[in-house]
């Protein structure tokens, strides 16, 4: 994954305030489409299609809850290893979603941004992504980030290469390198770190999602397959998040 494809410039985004009891930024690992379809004797493609409906519900639920930032893990860099048929189904759904949903996103005040190696999806999909980003660029109700062909390790490696190039070119003093130096070169530069990471399907791992950014995030793992996710499940995660005490490494009791 190249530094150029990950570290695209981030235009100024609205500085939305978190609800009084948080969170400001939620990351969602959407897992379970294939198991949902298998349990119903349906083709995988219908599981992914049902997952798109859950995306709509999640975006609306986040907006209704006053969440300012929502990042969806839609397609990992590892997903390219799946069968050619499944990858084709997923990328086709992506194009359809972008074409059909952009007006709804724009009308509802949602600003869309895509992070990850978008060029791997081909020119037609890249054009649809860029059109959707431009059409929603001035919205301020919800900042929606979709991670496509994204992997956190590759993102960090790209940031490290960018730092090394700046040092080699004499633009950066190695003694001045700190966490912010790296953060500025990540795909999420300009975004707040996630306060809460939610994963569906009962699995309890990050799967290479926002590894740097999630250093102090709270985690909630829900035993629900992604196509069944709705506002009730988001509410359950928010209740769990708000009962926790976040210390950020300061104190233990």
Structural domain boundaries of the chain? 20-242
Is 207 labeled as ligand-binding? yes
Q: pLDDT tens, position by position, for the chain (253 residues)?
A: 333 333 344 444 444 455 667 899 999 999 999 999 999 999 999 999 999 999 999 999 999 999 999 999 999 999 999 999 989 888 888 988 888 899 999 999 999 999 999 999 999 999 999 999 999 999 999 999 999 999 999 999 999 999 999 999 999 999 999 999 999 999 999 999 999 999 999 999 999 999 999 999 999 999 999 999 999 999 999 999 999 988 776 765 5
Catalytic residues: 31, 79
Is 242 labeled as ligand-binding? no
Residue pLDDT, tens place only, 15-58: 445 566 789 999 999 999 999 999 999 999 999 999 999 999 99
The two tokens of residue 99 are 């074409």
What pTM was computed for the model? 0.89
CATH number of the domain at 20-242, please?
Answer: 3.40.1180.10
Is 201 labeled as ligand-binding? no
Is 203 labeled as ligand-binding? no
Q: Write a three-state SS string for 112-176.
A: EEEECCHHHHCHHHHHHHHHHHHHCCCCCCEEEEEEEEECHHHHHHHHHHHHHHHHHCCCCCHHH
Is 86 labeled as ligand-binding? no
**CA-to-CA separations, 81 to 3, 76, 84, 149, 243, in angstroms, rounded:** 22, 10, 8, 11, 39
Is 77 labeled as ligand-binding? yes
The two tokens of residue 108 are 């509802």
Is 5 labeled as ligand-binding? no
Q: Which contiguous run of DSSP H or E holds residue 54?
A: helix 44-64
């Amino acid at each position: 994954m190249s530094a150029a494809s990950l570290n695209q410039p981030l235009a100024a985004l609205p500085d939305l305030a978190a609800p009084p009891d948080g969170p400001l930024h939620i990351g969602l690992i959407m897992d379970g489409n294939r198991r949902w379809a298998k349990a119903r004797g349906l083709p995988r493609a219908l599981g992914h299609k049902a997952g798109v409906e859950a995306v709509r519900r999640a975006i609306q639920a986040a907006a209704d809850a006053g969440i300012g930032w929502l990042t969806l893990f839609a397609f990992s860099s590892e997903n390219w290893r799946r069968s050619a048929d499944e990858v084709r189904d997923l990328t086709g759904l992506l194009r359809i979603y972008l074409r059909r949903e952009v007006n709804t996103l724009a009308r509802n005040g949602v600003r869309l941004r895509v992070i990850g190696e978008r060029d791997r999806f081909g020119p037609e999909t890249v054009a649809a992504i860029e059109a959707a980003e431009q059409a929603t660029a001035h919205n301020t109700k919800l900042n929606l980030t979709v991670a496509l062909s994204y992997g956190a390790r590759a993102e960090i490696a790209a940031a490290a290469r960018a730092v090394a190039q700046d040092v080699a070119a004499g633009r950066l003093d190695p003694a001045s390198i700190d966490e912010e130096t790296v953060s500025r070169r990540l795909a999420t530069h300009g975004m707040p770190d996630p306060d809460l990471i939610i994963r569906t399907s009962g699995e309890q791992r990050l799967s290479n999602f926002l590894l740097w950014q999630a250093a102090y995030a709270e985690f909630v793992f829900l035993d629900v397959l992604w196509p069944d996710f709705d506002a009730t499940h988001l509410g359950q995660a928010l209740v769990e998040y708000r009962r926790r005490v976040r210390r950020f490494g300061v104190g233990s009791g």
